[in-house]
Amino acid sequence: MLETITVLKGPVIGDGMLFITINLVAFLICLMFILRIGTGKLAIPVFFIGLGFLLSALIPLLFGIESLWAVPLVEGLFVFAGVVIFMKILGIFDLITNK
């Protein structure tokens, strides 16, 4: 007996899913922030967050709809890495450990 799994792609624009377009625009906005910030320490976490948007948009384009489960995993990992780097730059970990 063969079972089929229906994958709901959500809203679409043309042949592509809407979240791909939104993630690509978010990546371009992060890229504009990086160009505006320059080569400072704050550019590194913004780069990681932008990279998460780019990779989550490219996963369904490169690997197909079957790997749609990896989109929130990849985006979450890169955003988490960006937030941790922000916290390190701003000295939040030093405030926590120096009680």
Parse the chain into domains and list their residue ranges.
16-70
Q: 55-58: long-range contacts (C-beta < 8 A, 24 or more apart)?
A: 56/23, 57/19, 57/20, 57/23, 57/24, 57/27
Residue 39: per-residue pLDDT: 80
Q: How far apart are alpha carbons 77 and 74 in whole angstroms? A: 5
Residue 97: per-residue pLDDT: 85
Residue 99: per-residue pLDDT: 61
**pLDDT tens, position by position, for the chain (99 residues)?**
788 877 777 777 777 788 889 999 999 999 999 999 888 888 999 999 999 999 999 998 899 888 888 899 999 999 999 999 999 999 988 888 876
| Three-state secondary structure call for residue 51 | helix
| Three-state secondary structure call for residue 13 | strand
